[in-house]
Chain A
């Protein structure tokens, strides 16, 4: 019965198309169960203790992130915050949107996870970003509080990440190529336009080309037309009733299938919605124009719209504060070293036969050779002893096959049964076998998870689920 509060530090690093940010948070956890109850370790407080300035993402030339400069920048922020990489126990590095597609994104991720501490996970991927931005913006909390469907649009430089929450739970997440920096302007000249925006320009029959001076030939008004077209496209993405604007006919057909009750907007462009500036191109892009068009549109001009708690910081806060969850507090593990990184999930059902499970593992091993895997199952609500024993017998029989003798036994269950199941498994396996059995975590096919060092006197573990299934 350890009732004392513990804290650990989590980092969020967001390397976006336009900006790079770092935050550090102090996460407090505590056993919130009462006397005589089984422990329940919960997060009691998340407090951002340091926010970096918003840096422009260093780029070497158009298509590459300057990995060294980014690393330098992040190390500088650690120093300013007075935090050593080894102090960090959880969090996420997110390379977002267009940046993630740049050729050296992988190298950057590697360079950064090396310095970012024990347990910072490197992740990218549109859906995960959308979820993190949605959580960081406050949309999830708003949805939980009101019990309504809340969609958050995180409109950045290269992409817009949309996440729909229903009653506080993620329902849908999508990512579309709309952002404030798809067209850039340098000394009054158009210096860059993305491939997708070029298509749209063509479809609209506009005359915008790189190198043109924006103050000649009504280019500003053409840019405004594009900004409104982008706004219509965003509206189409969240409104199942609307039809696709024809200039976007070649875009992938990703949109929400449920209509939100409330809309919030975060990301850099969200700041341009409220801001009134005389210089429309102060940031050297069309972000301000896009913000203005959104302000005039049905996205914000309805009773559905609510101002977001966080704007430009939403993704980085999501990465720092919402990328992990705490497992159930009755779990079982032996002979293990933590953290465990990039464990791949093999989805099973509790009532699968041994041969089915073996076939699934074989399939996995032929594809990924030596990757670490975990078996994940929904589990049984309030199982009987017999169910626990039979399932443990089955799973242990699979892991006792000679070809899997050296594999760690990692089991992830959603329902609260991991301690009983872990103990039953261990009784059927060699005493030196590495066994980890945790519950309270929902994951599925295609997910990767990281398991951090146990917290709260070893009673629970923080877990990061890295890709998401809906």
Chain B
């Protein structure tokens, strides 16, 4: 079966458009769905199907699970938050931050303590972002940070994860800098975007503004390797300044 989302929307032009060349040029400046044609006041069938397809991909990205094989292949182990399903994660954002005692125990057993930098992945609102970006980012981050003389903790994956798990995990492992790589809420352009939330010594009372954020990491946005190289430098800066977020 043909994948109708194969062609990026910026290259997608309605078959009967007469000003194809000019439209291509204009479309380079925006990701909006312009020049998709119409029939009376309505969308054409192909434009409408494409809209539905992209909408469905976004929705699937939120509700599908990261497979256990993906985690194993990345060389990670897995813990989860208080949520028991994707549905619970969406409806109970507060539970997505809580790591219960048994899961904390797993972390304590499996992870190196007192690292300079603790990196972990979370599914967040996009499961495909893990398989798409995690491998490239992890290696660039680990090698880059270690080359700069920083120790990197044992990486892992948190299922049903929200960013503020860092408030618990940071103190638990006594990490100086925590970097959460988490799936971004998908939009209509891509369902693979990841964000990095980086905090210096996160703790339960920390403010949201203490996170340094790098977003839009995907092959459609900032290339994962280049983003990771940038994050290496950010983490160096954060460790030296002993602060993160807007005060950096």
| Chain A interface (Cβ < 8 Å from any Cβ of B) | 1, 35-38, 147, 167, 330, 332, 381-385, 388, 416-420, 422-424, 426-427
Contacts and interface: CB of A to CB of B under 8 A. Distances in A.
22 contacts: A35-B213, A36-B213, A36-B214, A36-B215, A37-B215, A37-B222, A38-B214, A38-B227, A167-B25, A330-B230, A382-B223, A382-B224, A383-B225, A385-B225, A388-B225, A416-B222, A417-B225, A418-B226, A420-B228, A424-B143, A427-B143, A427-B144
A419 B214 CA distance: 15
Interface of B: 21-22, 25, 135-136, 139-140, 143-144, 147, 195, 212-216, 219, 222-230, 232-233, 248
Contacts of B143: 423-424, 427
Contacts of A167: 25
Contact of A426 (B147, B212, B228): B147
A420 B216 contact: no
Given A388-B140, A388-B225, A423-B140, 4 more contacts: A37-B222, A382-B223, A416-B226, A423-B143
Contacts of A38: 214, 216, 222, 226-227, 230
A419 B144 CA distance: 11
Contacts of A417: 223, 225-226
Given A147-B22, A147-B25, A426-B147, A36 B225 contact: no
Contact of A382 (B139, B147, B219, B248): B219
A423 B148 CA distance: 10
Contacts of A426: 147
B36 to A, nearest CB: 20
B219 A419 contact: no
A37 B216 contact: yes
A36 B182 CA distance: 14
B21, B25, B230: residue with the most chain A Cβ atoms closer than 10 Å: B230
Contacts of B226: 38, 330, 416-420
Contacts of A423: 140, 143-144, 147, 229, 232
Contacts of B229: 330, 332, 419-420, 422-423
B22, B219, B223, B248: residue with the most chain A Cβ atoms closer than 10 Å: B223
B151 to A, nearest CB: 16
Contacts of A383: 223, 225
Contact of B225 (A35, A332, A384): A384
Nearest to B28: A167
A444 to B, nearest CB: 23
Contacts of B139: 385
A3 to B, nearest CB: 11
Contacts of B215: 36-37
A317 B213 CA distance: 40
B221 to A, nearest CB: 9
Contacts of A385: 135-136, 139-140, 225
B87 to A, nearest CB: 28
A330 B227 CA distance: 9
B170 to A, nearest CB: 20
A288 B192 CA distance: 63
Nearest to B138: A385
B109 to A, nearest CB: 29
A98 B215 CA distance: 53
A405 B214 CA distance: 37
A459 to B, nearest CB: 10
A36 B140 CA distance: 20
A100 B8 CA distance: 49
A427 B219 CA distance: 25
Contacts of B228: 420
B33 to A, nearest CB: 20
A427 B139 CA distance: 13
Nearest to B218: A382
Contacts of A416: 222-223, 226
B187 to A, nearest CB: 14
Contacts of B136: 384-385
Contacts of A332: 229
A38 B233 CA distance: 12
B233 A419 contact: yes
A427 B147 CA distance: 7
A325 B193 CA distance: 30
B235 to A, nearest CB: 12
B147 A419 contact: no
A332 B228 CA distance: 13
Nearest to B224: A382
Contacts of B195: 36
B128 to A, nearest CB: 16
A381 B223 CA distance: 8
A422 B248 CA distance: 25
B147 A420 contact: no
A420 B143 CA distance: 11
Contacts of B216: 36-38
Contacts of A35: 213
Contacts of A36: 195, 213-216
A1, A420, A422, A426: residue with the most chain B Cβ atoms closer than 10 Å: A420
B21, B143, B227, B229: residue with the most chain A Cβ atoms closer than 10 Å: B229
Contacts of B135: 385
Contacts of B224: 382
Contacts of B22: 147
Nearest to A389: B139
Contacts of B21: 147
B140 A420 contact: yes
A102 B218 CA distance: 54
A382 B212 CA distance: 23
A377 B205 CA distance: 49
Contacts of A427: 143-144, 147
B133 to A, nearest CB: 10
A12 B25 CA distance: 32
Nearest to B227: A38
